[in-house]
Amino acid sequence: MDWTGLCNSAHQQWRQALADAAGTTPDRVAVQCVHQHDAPFVCLDANHAVTAQPDLPPIVDVSFFRKCLDRARDAVRQAVQKLRPVTHVAVAQARVQQVASNRRILGSDGRVWRNRSVAPSGDDLRSLPDGVIDPWLKTIALYDQTTRLVACHYYAVHPISYCCQEGRVSSEFVGWARRMMQQHDGPDTTHIYFTGCAGNQNTGKYNSSAIKENRRRLAERMLAAMQQATEKLRPEPIESIVWRTERLLPPARREFSLEGLREQIADRKRRVVHRNRPAFTLAWLERLRKRLPLELSALHINQATALHLPGEPFVEYQLRAQVFAPDRFVAVAGYGDGGPWYIPTAEAYAQGGYEVNVAFSDPRIDPMLTQCLFKLLEGPAAS
């Protein structure tokens, strides 16, 4: 979805609606968001807490959300009447030039010294190295014999060149690149873009305050990688298809309390943003109290794997997944259920920084998520 995020019950409602329309169950449905910031960010549970305060604006127009859900459900119902066989799969990757950089700049003490913004105004941060990134755009394509039906492209970067300045929804530079691929290939191939584990990734090294010009440059660099990967695709007959799921219920940070969060939401002396954010945290704690886990999934087709993760994971989880399955082509999509917000690595908590400060889970989420990755990727895939 070209949305910023879907959290908790909003995410579950999308999976349930698509599953119902397709005649399957929600554990067979993965819904991931692109996470550009000029787009809806929906948590119905947080919205309920906010709208209980008469002076606060709603987080989401619920009627708009319902209309989108209905349209998606209807589209799937129509689509299943026109199914195409999928006989072949192909994978390829291409290096993306000058787009992603790690936004957490560590000082000599091992703690975050600066956070490299999306569009730094000076050269001091742009001159620093990329840091830890995954430079590869990965593509998985599905075919009906020789006809390419869909090409899924995966890359880890916060898809933002600039935001919150135009007052309108934007699919950002990644959406621009996808549209150009779609226009080039025509209606036979549907191109889909997935944002990878980009919790600590952005365009800060290669972006500047000359923002509108840079959006096109970044789009052209993404387009070049998509084209290069697509040219390398060599379809092979499908021999096995496996869908796996794992559940994750990570512990919340100990400093959170339901009563404290409710007080922050009700405090009219606080800015709106400092009342809305606690509502997202409250929604997460209420979910944990109900023991409603996150669901991760992996689609294995021959030696290709599409891995679907929740929240805003750090890129290290994506790199870790690839290490767990060195003989497989692993493409990772983050930004599934956004309930937990950022998912740092265990070592990142000691480093501090913005992402750690707003994460809802404590460091124990790292070994728990890592174990899920291992289980989703372990062993030979069986049909």
Local structure of 298: helix, strand or coil: strand
CA dihedral 242, 335, 106, 130 (to 10 degrees): 70
Task: Encode the chain (383 residues) as per-residue pLDDT tens digits.
Answer: 999 999 999 999 999 999 999 999 999 999 999 999 989 999 999 999 999 999 999 999 999 999 999 999 999 999 999 999 999 999 999 999 999 999 999 999 999 999 888 876 666 788 899 999 999 999 999 999 999 999 999 999 999 988 776 678 889 999 999 999 999 998 989 999 999 999 999 999 998 766 677 889 999 999 999 999 999 999 999 999 999 999 999 999 999 999 999 999 999 999 999 999 999 999 999 999 999 999 999 999 999 999 999 999 999 999 999 999 999 999 999 999 999 999 999 999 999 999 999 999 999 999 999 999 999 998 655 43
Distance CA(357)–CA(207), nearest Å, equals: 25
Distance CA(82)–CA(6), nearest Å, equals: 28
Distance CA(182)–CA(184), nearest Å, equals: 5
**Which CA distances in Å does 380 have to 78, 239, 317?**
35, 13, 21
DSSP 210-279: -HHHHHHHHHHHHHHHHHHHHHT---EE---EEEEEEEE-PPBPTT--HHHHHHHHH-TTS-SHHHHHHH
- 197 touches 317 (CB < 8 A): yes
Sign of CA dihedral 41, 45, 51, 56: negative
Q: Which two tokens stand for residue 342?
A: 């950022």
Number of H helices and E strands in the chain, helices first, is 12, 17
**What local confidence, expressed as pLDDT, does residue 372 receive?**
97
**What local confidence, expressed as pLDDT, does residue 213 receive?**
78
Distance CA(77)–CA(74), nearest Å, equals: 5
DSSP-derived secondary structure letter, 159: -
**What local confidence, expressed as pLDDT, does residue 383 receive?**
39
Report pTM: 0.96
**What local confidence, expressed as pLDDT, does residue 382 receive?**
42
Bridge partner residues of 256 (DSSP): none
Local structure of 124: helix, strand or coil: helix
CA dihedral 260, 264, 267, 271 (to 10 degrees): 160
Nearest to 285 by CA among 315, 270, 268, 264: 264
**Which CA distances in Å does 107 have to 112, 135, 158?**
6, 23, 23
**What local confidence, expressed as pLDDT, does residue 376 receive?**
97
3-state helix, strand, coil in the chain (%, to 5): 40, 20, 40
Bridge partner residues of 312 (DSSP): 342
- 380 touches 242 (CB < 8 A): no
